[in-house]
A and B are shown apart, each in its own frame.
Chain A
Amino acid sequence: MGKPFAEKIFSARAGRDVVPGEIITVEPDYVLSHDNTAAIAATFAKMGAEKVLHPERLVIVLDHCVPAADAKHAENHKKIREFVAEQGVEHFYDVGRGICHQVLPEEGFARPGRLILGSDSHTTTYGALGAFSAGIGRSEAAAIWATGEIWLMCPESVRMNMTGEFARGVGPKDLILSIIGDVGADGMLYKSVEFAGETMEVMSVAGHMVLANMSVEMGAKNGYVAPNDKTAEWLASRESAEYEAVYPDADASYESELEYDVTDLPPMVAKPHTVDNVAPVEEVVGTAVDQVVLGTCTNGREDDLEEAARILEDRTVASGCRLLVFPASREIWREAMKSGAFEAIEGAGGIIMNAGCGPCLGAHEGVLAPGEVCLSTANRNFKGRMGTPEAEIYLASPATAAATAVEGRIADPRGYL
Chain B
Amino acid sequence: MVKGKVWKYGDDVNTDVIFPGKYTYTVTDPAEIASHALEDLDPDFAANVKPGDVVVVGRNFGCGSSREQAAFCLKYAGVGAVVAESFARIFYRNAINAGLPMVVSKDAPDALVTGDPVDIDFTAGELRAADGKVFTFPPLPPEVMAIVEAGGLVEYVKRRLNR
Contacts and interface: CB of A to CB of B under 8 A. Distances in A.
User: Do A and B associate with each other?
Assistant: yes
A382 B14 contact: yes
Interface in B122-148: 141, 143-144
B116 interface: no
A140 B20 contact: no
Interface of B: 11-12, 14, 16-17, 20-22, 24-26, 28, 40, 59-60, 63-66, 68, 71, 86, 88-90, 93-94, 97-98, 141, 143-144, 152-154, 156-158, 160-162
Nearest to A152: B93
24 contacts: A35-B25, A36-B24, A39-B28, A42-B28, A43-B154, A46-B154, A47-B158, A49-B157, A120-B66, A121-B66, A137-B71, A138-B68, A139-B98, A142-B154, A142-B157, A146-B157, A147-B161, A186-B11, A186-B59, A186-B63, A186-B88, A219-B63, A382-B64, A385-B16
A73 B23 CA distance: 11
B157 A384 contact: no
Contact of B60 (A136, A139, A189): A189
A64 B17 CA distance: 19
A219 B89 contact: yes
A265 interface: no
B12 to A, nearest CB: 5
Contacts of A121: 64-66, 90
A119 B68 CA distance: 9
A190 B89 contact: yes
A367 B47 CA distance: 28
A65 interface: yes
A66 to B, nearest CB: 12
A65 B25 contact: yes
A387 B14 CA distance: 16
A385 B21 contact: yes
A27 to B, nearest CB: 15
B66 to A, nearest CB: 4
Contacts of B12: 185-186, 274
A143 B16 contact: no
A48 B97 contact: no
Nearest to A220: B89
A361 B21 contact: yes
Name which of B59, B94, B153 has the most chain A CB atoms within 10 A of its CB: B153
A41 to B, nearest CB: 12
Given A137-B94, A186-B11, 9 more contacts: A65-B25, A119-B66, A136-B90, A142-B154, A147-B160, A151-B143, A362-B21, A362-B22, A363-B21
A221 interface: yes
A383 interface: yes
Contacts of B63: 185-186, 219
B20 A139 contact: no
Nearest to A380: B64
A146 B64 contact: no
A76 B23 CA distance: 13
A350 interface: no
A23 interface: yes
Given A47-B158, A65-B25, A135-B90, A382 B153 contact: no
Interface of A: 23, 35-36, 39, 42-43, 46-49, 64-65, 72-73, 76, 119-121, 135-140, 142-143, 146-147, 151, 185-186, 189-190, 219, 221, 274, 361-363, 380, 382-385, 387, 389
Contacts of B11: 186
A76 B25 contact: yes
Contacts of B59: 186
Contacts of B40: 383-384, 389
B160 A140 contact: no
Given A186-B59, A189-B60, A189-B86, A363 B25 contact: yes
Contacts of B98: 139
User: 10 tightest A-B contacts by CB?
Assistant: A186-B60, A137-B68, A382-B16, A137-B94, A121-B66, A139-B97, A135-B66, A47-B157, A139-B153, A361-B21
B155 to A, nearest CB: 8
B157 A147 contact: yes
Contacts of B160: 147
Contacts of A49: 157, 161
A138 B67 CA distance: 7
B153 A221 contact: no
Name which of A65, A186, A189 has the most chain B CB atoms within 10 A of its CB: A186
Contacts of B71: 137
Nearest to B63: A185
Nearest to B61: A186
B21 to A, nearest CB: 5
B25 A64 contact: yes
Contact of A73 (B25, B94, B157): B25
Contacts of B25: 35-36, 39, 64-65, 72-73, 76, 363
Contacts of A361: 21, 24, 65
Given A137-B66, A274-B12, A384 B22 contact: yes
B154 A137 contact: no
A384 B16 contact: yes
A143 B147 CA distance: 12
Contacts of B158: 46-48
Nearest to B14: A382
